[in-house]
Amino acid sequence: MTGYSAKEIGRLIGVSAGELRGYVRAGFLAPERGSRGELRFSFQDLVFLRTARGLTEARLPPRRIRRALSQLRRQLPEGRALTGVRIGVDGSRIVAEDGSRRWQPESGQILLDFGEGDAPPPADAARIRPRLPEAVPDSNEARFSADQWFEWGYELEPDSPEDARDAYGRALQLDPAHADAHVNLGRLLHEAGDAASAASHYEAALATMPDDAVAAFNLGVALEDLRKLPEALLAYQKAVRLDPDNADAHFNAASLAERLGYSAEALQHLRTYRKLTRTE
């Protein structure tokens, strides 16, 4: 029998029968009927419900969640599923992201990345220079080691991601095999929408440190964004081999395995995900 029953959904994701009926009535889910007339939910339904559950765990009112999801569905191109968009919470805002833009489904407002808040800094605002790595005077920047450029990039990330990318790039000029610089630069490029360049850096990190579980997981996400699904699944498989307790890697692997037709593998990853996220 294909699909998941309401009871299985509740056990795997923690969604109550009432919440499930609400999402069905709202048209977010279109379950099929089993041989005895019971509802059977698809894996994509499971992905959607995990996202909705995350919004619930952020203590947002159920009515607001359903309203935001309804508005988001109207904002997407015809044929585009809600599961193809990342949905999360930023402060008190529900935010959607599709790789090229971020916006608030409730208002339709596009969010520009100006750091703190969404308003650009005043034109005459002074730029505060983060501290340099310890034991390195300001006048000796050219003498920074690769590790010191990496540390400076880490310092710069919260307030100036562009300068952080430059610092990580300088670290890699001095040491092309600096795995941590590759991972952090890849993440910043990925967050800026350049998944292809990010994937290259994650691969470079793994070439130097084959046991880097973070690089493997990040590579999977980047490849998935690039629609390279078989390669992304291989990356997630590597990530869970290196870090069997990575629940997100198991869930992503399950999602891709299901889409690629590997139902048994999908179920195995999903069961592991549930064990890792089960609360006492």
- Has residue 129 got a pLDDT over 60? no
Do 146 and 194 belong to one domain? no
CATH number of domain containing 222: 1.25.40.10
* pLDDT at 115 (0 to 100): 46
Do 278 and 194 belong to one domain? yes
Question: pLDDT tens across 202-230, in order?
Answer: 999 999 999 999 999 999 999 999 999 99
Residue 276 lies in a domain: yes
Residue 47 lies in a domain: no
Do 199 and 280 belong to one domain? yes
* pLDDT at 133 (0 to 100): 45
Say how far apart CA 120 and CA 127 lie, in whole Å: 13
Single pTM value for the model: 0.60
Q: Domain ends where: 176, 208, 233? A: 176
Q: Domain ends where: 144, 176, 208? A: 176
Residue 119 lies in a domain: no
Do 245 and 268 belong to one domain? yes
Question: pLDDT tens across 173-206, in order?
Answer: 999 999 999 999 999 999 898 999 999 999 999 9
Do 172 and 193 belong to one domain? no
Q: Where are the alpha helices (DSSP H) in 102-194?
A: 146-156, 161-174, 179-191
Residue 29 lies in a domain: no
At residue 112 the predicted structure's pLDDT band, cuts being 50, 70 and 90, is low
- Has residue 143 got a pLDDT over 70? no
Residue 262 lies in a domain: yes
- Has residue 111 got a pLDDT over 70? yes
Residue 209 lies in a domain: yes
Question: pLDDT tens across 145-180, in order?
Answer: 888 888 888 877 877 788 889 989 999 999 999 999
Do 201 and 221 belong to one domain? yes
Do 271 and 195 belong to one domain? yes
- Has residue 38 got a pLDDT over 90? no
Closest by Cα among 158, 137, 159 to 148: 137
- Has residue 109 got a pLDDT over 50? yes
Distances (CA, A) of 226 to 11, 219, 232: 32, 10, 9
Do 196 and 279 belong to one domain? yes
Do 248 and 198 belong to one domain? yes
Answer for the pair 146, 111: CB distance below 8 angstroms, yes or no: no
Residue 10 lies in a domain: no
Do 165 and 199 belong to one domain? no
Determine which helix (DSSP H) or strand (DSSP E) holds 97, and give its type and residue range.
Answer: strand 93-97
For 219, the domain range is 188-280
What residue has token string 């990530």?
A: 239
Q: Domain ends where: 138, 153, 176? A: 176
* pLDDT at 17 (0 to 100): 80
Do 201 and 254 belong to one domain? yes
Beta bridge partners of 4: 41
* pLDDT at 20 (0 to 100): 86
Q: Count of domains in the chain?
A: 2
Residue 241 lies in a domain: yes
Do 163 and 193 belong to one domain? no
Question: pLDDT tens across 72-106, in order?
Answer: 888 888 777 787 788 888 877 899 887 678 899 88
